[in-house]
Amino acid sequence: MFLENTFKSANQSGWIEVITGSMFSGKTEELIRRLRRAQIAKQKVAIFKPKLDTRYSEKEIVSHDANYIESVPVEKASEILDKGIESDVIGIDEAQFFDMDIVEVCNELANRGKRVIVAGLDMDYLGKPFGPMPYLMAIAEYVTKVHAICMRCGNLAHYSHRKSTSDSLIELGEKDKYEPLCRSCYLEALKEQNKDE
Ligand code: ZN
């Protein structure tokens, strides 16, 4: 388990933490856990997420287990710099959807003494690095990869597999569209899909 550094000297600089992994791996839960602990330590906390992520609620960070902390939806990464500067700890959820400016924004906040905690998907459903995430992982002091459980074999899951898109007219929830899979089950699933096409 990640244990944060709570000691803070007057001239201590900030740092960046990244929490990443597949869908249903508990990224947001881990982000919330860290932010809650900062709140208990009487630190000022701010949470941001991209505006497009409106799955459940406009204002709150919502994880799949319905834990939530109120968050601020922003359109551009640069808004976090202006709005976050008053806080000690800055949480950013669904970071994979932000523009590349998020990398510089996180650096700038850390340089100004902030603790920045970023959560986001490491890969898209094709298994490719997702948006700014590889850059954020590179510049972070601490990177935590969390894992879901493979829906087919029970091993640790590494991929977010998109199930074959049937022509269903019903709008399905996230849980019906994607499944976390381990490496070998993911490869197997891709083979099956290629056969169907
Ligand atoms: Zn598996």
Closest CA to 161 of 140, 131, 185: 185
**Residue 177 binned pLDDT confidence (cut-offs 50, 70, 90):** confident
Judge whether 178 and 161 are in contact, CB under 8 Å.
Answer: yes
25 alpha carbon – ligand 1 mean position (Å) = 14
136 alpha carbon – ligand 1 mean position (Å) = 28
Judge whether 15 and 141 are in contact, CB under 8 Å.
Answer: yes
163 alpha carbon – ligand 1 mean position (Å) = 15
4 part of a folded domain: no
Rounded to a whole number of angstroms, the distance between the first and last alpha carbons of the chain is: 43
194 alpha carbon – ligand 1 mean position (Å) = 18
150 alpha carbon – ligand 1 mean position (Å) = 5
Distance from C-alpha of 152 to C-alpha of 170, rounded to nearest angstrom = 24
Judge whether 117 and 153 are in contact, CB under 8 Å.
Answer: no
H-run or E-run covering 47: strand 45-50
Over the chain, what is the mean pLDDT? 87
16 alpha carbon – ligand 1 mean position (Å) = 32
Q: How many structural domains is the chain composed of?
A: 1
Closest CA to 46 of 27, 72, 66: 72
CATH of the domain at 35: 3.40.50.300
Report pTM.
0.87
CA angle 131, 135, 140 (to 5 degrees): 130
Distance from C-alpha of 54 to C-alpha of 73, rounded to nearest angstrom = 9
Q: What is the pLDDT of residue 66?
A: 47
188 part of a folded domain: no
Residue of 17, 30, 94, 179 with catalytic role: 94
Domain that holds residue 108: 15-146
19 part of a folded domain: yes
What tens digit of pLDDT does each residue of 122-149 get?
A: 999 999 999 999 999 999 999 999 999 9
Q: What is the pLDDT of residue 167?
A: 52
194 part of a folded domain: no
Q: Name the phi and psi angles at 165, rounded to 5.
A: -80, 100
56 part of a folded domain: yes
123 part of a folded domain: yes
69 part of a folded domain: yes
Distance from C-alpha of 114 to C-alpha of 12, rounded to nearest angstrom = 10
What tens digit of pLDDT does each residue of 4-56 get?
A: 776 566 667 899 999 999 999 999 999 999 999 998 899 999 999 999 755 55
94 has catalytic annotation:
yes
48 part of a folded domain: yes
Strand partners of residue 53: none
Torsion of CA 183, 187, 190, 194, to 10 degrees: 170
Q: What's at 142, amino acid-wise?
A: Y
Closest CA to 90 of 62, 111, 75: 111
